[in-house]
Structure 1
Amino acid sequence: MNKLIRKFIHHKDLYLLLVCFILLAIALFRPTVPVKHNIYSYFMVIDITQSMNTVDMKINGKPVSRIAYTKQILRETISSLPCGTKVGLGMFSGVNVVTLYLPIDVCENFSSIQDTLDHIDWRSAWTADSRVRESMLSSARVVSNFPEPAQVVYFSDGEEAPKLHAFNTRDLSTLQNADGWLLVGIGSMQGAAIPKFTEKNQLIGYWSHESMQLAPGAAPIAAAGLLKRKRDVAESVNDRYIAKLSETSMMAMAKEIGATYVRGDNLQALLSAMRKQKPARREWTPISIDWLLGTLAGLILLFAYVPQHPLKKLKKRFSGKKQTQSSHQLSNHSPSSITLD
């Protein structure tokens, strides 16, 4: 054994170069190792009701509508997701959630997803009502028909129109499979007036207070989901209905169905909350290790041509300088020779 060690030390450079060559040769074949990791699948629902046209959010310091902000934060979110993650898109209006497409790989379909976001518009809404609470049941029905599990990420300001009362507040105790959903609040706590547009997206005024209220005797109609909101335009600034982020109701609803609530004004907080959601599945994925082999070969090559540790070399050099300085000091203080005449 000692003989082999002495032989290795004597031919160290040759053996290390041989190992380095073998590692680089293996790296050329791009070897992989199987690693088990989480695969996430998301169904992202966008509220496209008219309250989402409220301009009380900002992108790069410029005021924008809630729906424009939602589309932007979705672009940034999807861009931050790793390959293999699947994303599906849906829209909410009235009481229903509709699926634009099932969850698809974000890398393979990145351009298509971005293009879809560009074309999402409030004019795609099929009713003027906004019953967010009711839509939770619709979301559950939609996701239950997916070929594989997906976590719901629901972007909304939580604005209920008409406003909730005892007779039109849906009981969500029967809602199943909502554990782990994420409700994302869009809008400000200060709020702003809801603009009213024509079908050609031309501003004609702002929604009035009266348009958000239930008329007397409308309880049976509202409970049946057949109530149509009045499309009244505010006659004055004071008559404009101010829509705020309904954070309290969204937090209460999230707690009731076992979901998590997060504000949508912080991308990192949103991504962090999404990472805590339950993955769709776990699977083995091949991970390339050619970079690891190349790095190891480089370190071995460096070790082969470094005769000793750099710190030891510096210490030896520093010690040599101190000894030289000491010898000079001794020679300067040595007694002078005496000359006798």
Structure 2
Amino acid sequence: MIRRVTARPVLLACAAAAALTASFRPGLPGEGRVFDLMLVVDITGSMMARDYIVDGAPASRLDMLRRALPGLLQQLPCGSQVGLSIFSERRSFVLFDPVEICAGYDPVTRAIGALDWRMAWEGDSYVLRGLTSALDTARDRGHGIVFFTDGHQAPPLADRPLPGGDGTPGLIVGVGGLAPVPIPKFDDLGNETGFHQPDDVAQASSGWTPPTAAAGSDWDPRVDSPGSTRPGEEHLTRVHEATLRAQAGALGLGYAPLAPGTDLATRVMDHFPGRRVPVTRPLADWLGLACLLLFGLAHAWRFAGRRPPPIPPNQRNERILNARHALFRPGRLGHGPGTLRRHG
């Protein structure tokens, strides 16, 4: 006697086979795009200005980067390599060369979380020189750079011709808001003691020769910007977006602002071409989904099999007649004993 096989055991067997196959993490060969990048972070004093909101509280620009950069790493494909550098004074210093991000995610994110303004070796900030320093290192080592800075220079520099680029790929990310905010001031022990005042910082360009002060002029090189008769604002900071865009254009780099809600990973991956490498596309997720779907169908089939069999036509007609007789039996409609009265 041949036993009929129902669909439910077949569905359960297929679901079990899918789950077992997924446990071996199978994959299909293909081609993917990976990136080789050096993240360069400005750690000068202006990066401690608080013009971001994180978790409902004011946060410094450096705090914002410590939060945003791990998210960037999470979205880059495995096989990408990322290194970390810091910028202070007039050059960028490599903390470590690019490493594969999936295998090295924990140490890289811990290094990012440890970034601090106290790591700076000088208080000056010559952004353009730090940017060209990072590009020189990247050219020698064969990777692109993502340079995070607010563009605040200390002391301020006079306008001068910008150097040309050499083809090294790079992206400048402007950090900070457009409105000027005060720069925190710290003592020798690293304790915040307030904010910088106009007399605390150089307001005039160190490379600019001021005109002879005319009689009655209120221009003062200690507090006035070049060519200005008003007090300077170098004790305040904002992202110098126009300057950073000009520098990026001259050097053949891209520019992107780090505004709240910015998808930093998309900006980075859209800008850099990356390199093509053979990759294995995992199938475990798809097999897990198929397993859940098959189990769901088997469960639904179980309840579908419990439905009562359909009523044969002759029995259905008999039931209808019995229901009619029960409804119109004598006395049902309140006419008293006897049969139903005919109205005519």
Pair in the same fold by TM > 0.5: yes
Checking the alignment, whether the CA contact within 8 Å between 1:66 and 1:187 is kept in structure 2 is yes
2:147 maps to amino acid: Y
How far is the alpha carbon of 1:68 from its aligned partner? 2.5
> Is residue 2:267 matched to residue 1:265?
no
> Is residue 2:196 matched to residue 1:206?
yes
Count matched residues: 306
Question: Aligned pair in 2 of structure 1 residues 287, 163: CA closer, same or farther (>3 Å)?
Answer: same
Question: Aligned pair in 2 of structure 1 residues 267, 37: CA closer, same or farther (>3 Å)?
Answer: farther
Unpaired runs of at least 5, structure 2: 211-220, 224-230, 329-338
Distance (whole Å) between structure 2 residues aligned to residue 18 and residue 215 of structure 1: 78
- 1:196 alignment partner in structure 2: 185
3-state SS of the aligned residue for 2:72?
helix
Checking the alignment, whether the CA contact within 8 Å between 2:182 and 2:195 is kept in structure 1 is no
1:52 maps to amino acid: M
Q: How does 1:46-195 map to 2 (within 5 A)?
A: 46-146=41-141, 149-166=142-159, 168-171=160-163, 173-178=164-169, 181-195=170-184
Checking the alignment, whether the CA contact within 8 Å between 2:47 and 2:62 is kept in structure 1 is yes
How far is the alpha carbon of 1:268 from its aligned partner? 4.1
How far is the alpha carbon of 1:96 from its aligned partner? 1.1
How far is the alpha carbon of 1:184 from its aligned partner? 1.4
Query: Identity of paired residues, percent?
Result: 23
String of CA shifts for 1:239-292, please: whole Å, max 9, x gaps.
Answer: 872211111212232333333322213354222212213253222222343454
Question: Aligned pair in 2 of structure 1 residues 287, 218: CA closer, same or farther (>3 Å)?
Answer: same
Checking the alignment, whether the CA contact within 8 Å between 1:20 and 1:301 is kept in structure 2 is yes
Unpaired runs of at least 5, structure 1: 1-6, 220-229
Question: Aligned pair in 2 of structure 1 residues 77, 12: CA closer, same or farther (>3 Å)?
Answer: same
Question: Aligned pair in 2 of structure 1 residues 299, 67: CA closer, same or farther (>3 Å)?
Answer: closer
Distance (whole Å) between structure 1 residues aligned to residue 44 and residue 5 of structure 2: 77
String of CA shifts for 1:110-133, please: whole Å, max 9, x gaps.
Answer: 332233223322232233322222
3-state SS of the aligned residue for 2:107?
helix
2:168 maps to amino acid: N
Question: Aligned pair in 2 of structure 1 residues 34, 250: CA closer, same or farther (>3 Å)?
Answer: same
Distance (whole Å) between structure 2 residues aligned to residue 306 and residue 56 of structure 1: 55
Checking the alignment, whether the CA contact within 8 Å between 1:263 and 1:270 is kept in structure 2 is no
RMSD: 4.4
Question: Aligned pair in 2 of structure 1 residues 252, 302: CA closer, same or farther (>3 Å)?
Answer: same
Question: Aligned pair in 2 of structure 1 residues 287, 239: CA closer, same or farther (>3 Å)?
Answer: closer
Question: Aligned pair in 2 of structure 1 residues 262, 215: CA closer, same or farther (>3 Å)?
Answer: closer
Question: Aligned pair in 2 of structure 1 residues 165, 293: CA closer, same or farther (>3 Å)?
Answer: closer
3-state SS of the aligned residue for 2:202?
helix
Checking the alignment, whether the CA contact within 8 Å between 1:71 and 1:117 is kept in structure 2 is yes
Distance (whole Å) between structure 1 residues aligned to residue 74 and residue 92 of structure 2: 24
Distance (whole Å) between structure 1 residues aligned to residue 59 and residue 86 of structure 2: 20
Distance (whole Å) between structure 1 residues aligned to residue 77 and residue 35 of structure 2: 9
- Which stretch shifts more, 252-261 or 286-295? 286-295
Q: How does 1:36-47 map to 2 (within 5 A)?
A: 36-47=31-42
Distance (whole Å) between structure 1 residues aligned to residue 272 and residue 28 of structure 2: 25
Checking the alignment, whether the CA contact within 8 Å between 1:140 and 1:176 is kept in structure 2 is no
TM-score by length of 2: 0.69
Question: Aligned pair in 2 of structure 1 residues 302, 145: CA closer, same or farther (>3 Å)?
Answer: same
Question: Aligned pair in 2 of structure 1 residues 79, 298: CA closer, same or farther (>3 Å)?
Answer: closer
- 1:252 alignment partner in structure 2: 246
- 1:3 alignment partner in structure 2: none
Distance (whole Å) between structure 1 residues aligned to residue 109 and residue 288 of structure 2: 37
Checking the alignment, whether the CA contact within 8 Å between 2:131 and 2:147 is kept in structure 1 is no
Whose helix proportion is higher, 1 or 2?
Answer: 1
Distance (whole Å) between structure 1 residues aligned to residue 16 and residue 48 of structure 2: 63
Checking the alignment, whether the CA contact within 8 Å between 1:50 and 1:194 is kept in structure 2 is yes
